[in-house]
Structure 1
Amino acid sequence: MSQQTEITRASPETIMADQIHANERFTGVGVNVVVIALAVVALLPLLFSTNFWALPIWKIVLTLLLWGLYVFNGTSGMMLHERFLHLPLASFLYFGLQIGIVGGLLFLTRGSSGTIWILILPVAAQSLSLSWPFTAVVNLILLGLIWIAYFLDLSWQDTLISLLSIGASMAFTVIFTSIAVRESSARSEIQRLATDLRQANHRLAEYAAQVEELATMRERNRVAREIHDNLGHYLTVVNVQIEAAKTVMNSQPDKAQDALDKAQNLTQEGLAAVRRSVSALRESPLESQTLAEALAALAAELREAGLVAELTIEGEPANPDPKVELTLYRAVQEGLTNVRKHARASRVDIWLRYLSDQTVLTVQDNGVGADLTDARHGRFGLIGIQERVQLLDGRMEIQTAPQQGFQFTITLPNT
């Protein structure tokens, strides 16, 4: 499916590239048509001139051959020249050949009436493919050939007037061609920018999809942590209360009933928490109480299960951060849940210290400890806590070994 989507997204760029390529071909064909049309216009009056047919046969044949070579070189040769424009020798070869052909035609037909001089105009226009100094040199050479071929025997006044007239035609041709070339270049540039914009939009769409997928994954992990931390806590406490009730059911029925009542209340609280999670995805236990009060309540629940739980809080938070406080609460909640489920401990100590630049939480028990390299031990809760801590640029350290208790320390920077 992803491959098919990628191909579909690439099709607009392909279409735009084809349009640019088609415009370049059209421009090349247009230039060739102009060259051929001007060549025909230059030749036709000569073909109807009696002076031309009165020339020796070799001059007539050579003139027609040079005219044909001029047309071929001005079309196919120019396109080949553009392909190798990066080679300096290519420009000199092309324009040198065209200027030589034009000079030959001018000298071969200077005794005949006609407009063969028009052939200088395409060469003048094509010289714009290089720099302006190169264009000026080519145009001056062409004017010099006109002067030598046609006006060498005229007075300087007539020569000046004639050269100014032809020079004005050449200047108009060069200026008009320059405008047309710039317009064509601007059109190609706009289309290229449009293609780049399309590609950028497609990349942005792909990035947006990746961000959405990442956000979904993070939200999925967050919900998983909430279910484990919240519902898992309630179920663990309920199980402890039921086990306590079963133990004293025969000997102390009142105490057993009290444990069952607590289990029922915890079940109702857990059900309410699940409903709140489904409706709001998060119901912070710190909305109606401080972190110290919430931790004290967790310690009290542990004492009711028969364990010794000591809570020590040093200092006060300078700027309480709800995210930091919720992370600390969930860490203590998960730690105490693990104590009930796995540790077989008799004592748990909780230290919360507010320092000037960081907040440090330590939870320690005297239970059987754990081997963290053993994959059989469930570590999802610890991973969930570590993910919460990393999201706040904090760090988590675990110290444990079999039969040596379990301790984890969380350090979070103060904002």
Structure 2
Amino acid sequence: MRLRHLSRSFPLPLLLWLEWLLLGVVLAAMPLSCLSYPFSPLWNELGVILFAALGWASPTSKWQKCFYTATEFGLILLLALVGQIPLFQLLFIILVVRNCVLLEGRDRTLITVLTFVFCAFCLLNRRVYPFRIEPNQLGVFWFGSLLIFGLLILFLQLLVDAVITERRSRDALSEANMRLQQYTLKVEELATIQERNRIARDIHDSLGHSLTAFNFHLEAAIRLLKTKPIEAEALLLELKQLGAQTLAEVSQSVATLRTDPLGRKPLTEAIATLVDHFYRLTGVLPALDIHLAQPLPQAYNLAIFRIVQESLTNCCKYASATAVTVLVQHCNQQIQITIADNGKGFELQKNTTGFGLQGMRERVQALAGQIKIISAHEQGCRVEVCLPIKQ
């Protein structure tokens, strides 16, 4: 029976035991047939054993399944009509259970209907009964047996269908979870690669540039140390300032990689820290204006912090601005963020490697917000972000 081959993937061990129990009952009732009808019980026993052996077959193609089912029907009809075995209905029940596992959809229902029809035909053509029945009670016996049998095979089909459907749904869910885990690992791997690229780009743009300038200044100072000591001293002082700036950029890059960049501080205090750090690096004190009517979810706090941080970082690196404004306000169920400067500006169409700008866009899109960047050469830069607050 195909149940044996699927017992590891389908929770049907109870049906396997049920099949063996029903076959045992049929074999145990076999001596009753030889008492009532002069037919060798050996052929009946061989027929039942052959029917049990069919359970080990596992047809796969459509024609194999049709031949398998027809063989089962023929064998049961032979045992019921020729062998006159008692309790042949149990063999029909086993056939229904087997074909519920073997077949799909309408084929299952067709086999169940055919089983009911053949069982009714066998009852009508019985010549021997395992117990005495009065002639006037044959109709009641036939109708009652058929009714009970019909209800039983209908219940079995519904039960097996429900169990198989539930198991297949569980397997599909397990497979989906496995695929989801694989996709998650791929996403984590891609995110790791992307973050590594971002760190490499950040090191190349800031730290690499600073170290290159540091090396050139140091070589010039060494050459001028004996001939022009005053100019060499000026270069060394400039090198000291450049080294301090480089250390500050390294500190800022490390702070960006922190798991909790806010450090459990309120958003207002965390942004004020960014502004103070910007002032110590550039000597320009941004105008800060924060108005929040209520505490925000952590996802919003992190997004706002990163947007302000990235904007101030870009301004520090490229803008050479003398005035910077940072505005965060709560207005009409929205958070409006504006960071503006009067620096060099840039052409948006030419900025194709701006990972920071792309990161800001992704953070805003994740919160169903909108972002607008306004900039032009020598006209400063203005970042406007609008984040809707969900109730």
Is residue 383 from structure 1 mapped to residue 358 from structure 2 by the alignment? yes
Partner residue, 2:101? none
| In 1, Cα distance between equivalents of 2:323 and 2:208 | 19
* Contact 1:240 1:305 (8 Å CA) reproduced: no
The question of 1:173 aligning with 2:142 is answered yes
Is the Cα–Cα contact under 8 Å of residues 81 and 122 in structure 2 kept in the other structure?
no
Distance 1:122 1:294, change over 3 A: closer
> Is 2:302 the partner of 1:326?
yes
Structure 1 pair 123/382, CA: closer, same or farther in 2 (3 Å)? Answer: same
* 1:392 alignment counterpart: 367
Name the CA distance, whole Å, in 1 between partners of 2:187 and 2:287.
32
Q: Taking structure 1 as reference, are residues 24 and 185 closer, same or farther at Cα in structure 2, changes over 3 Å only?
A: farther
TM-score (normalizing by structure 2): 0.56
For 1:26, the aligned partner's letter is: E
The one-character-per-residue Cα deviations of 1:111-163 (angstroms, maximum 9, x if unpaired) are: xxxxxxxxxx9648479xxxxxxxxxxxxxxxxxxxxxxxxxxxxxxxxxxxx
Q: Which residue of 2 aligns with 1:43?
A: none
What SS does the aligned partner of 1:204 have?
helix
What is aligned with 2:89?
none
The aligned amino acid for 1:206 is E
Structure 2 equivalent of residue 195 of structure 1? 164
Once the two structures are TM-superposed, the CA of residue 378 in structure 1 deviates from its matched residue by 0.9
Match in the other structure for 2:246: 263
Aligned match for 1:251, one of 234, 241, 253: 234
Task: Using the TM superposition, give the Cα deviation of residue 209 of structure 1 relative to its aligned residue in structure 2, in angstroms.
Answer: 2.8
* 1:226-280 deviation digits (Å, cap 9, x = unpaired): 6678887788665687689759974374464244245336536755x59xx5xxx
Q: Please say which structure displays the higher CA radius of gyration.
A: 1
1:338-376 Cα distance to aligned partner (Å, 9 max, x none):
3344445554322111335222111223344444444x6
- Cα distance in 2, alignment partners of residues 238 and 28 from structure 1: 86
SS at match of 2:296: coil
Match of 2:331 in 1: 355
**Separation in 2 of the partners of 1:298 and 1:230?**
20
Alpha-carbon distance change, 308 to 227 in structure 1, aligned in 2, over 3 angstroms:
farther
Name which of 147, 155, 159 aligns with 1:186: 155
Given residue 295 of structure 1, which amino acid in structure 2 is its aligned partner?
I
CA distance 1:196–1:177, shift in 2 (3 Å): same
- Share of identical aligned residues, percent? 19
Q: Amino acid of the residue matched to residue 385 of structure 1? A: M
Distance (Å, rounded) in 2 between the aligned partners of 1:235 and 1:387 = 23
Aligned residues: 286
Residues 375 and 381 of structure 2 are in contact (CA less than 8 Å); yes or no, is this contact kept in structure 1?
yes
Deviation at 1:30, TM superposition (A): 1.6
Q: Report the Cα distance in structure 2 between the residues aligned to 1:369 and 1:167, rounded to whole angstroms.
A: 106
Change (3 A) 1:233 1:315: farther
How many angstroms does 1:406 deviate by? 2.7
The answer on whether the counterparts of 1:311 and 1:349 sit within 8 Å (CA) in structure 2 is yes
The 1:212–1:124 alpha-carbon spacing in structure 2 relative to 1, beyond 3 Å, is closer
Rounded to whole Å, the distance in 2 between the matches of 1:176 and 1:214 is 56
Extract unaligned runs of 5+ from structure 1: 1-8, 39-82, 96-120, 128-163
197-206 or 303-312: which moved more?
303-312
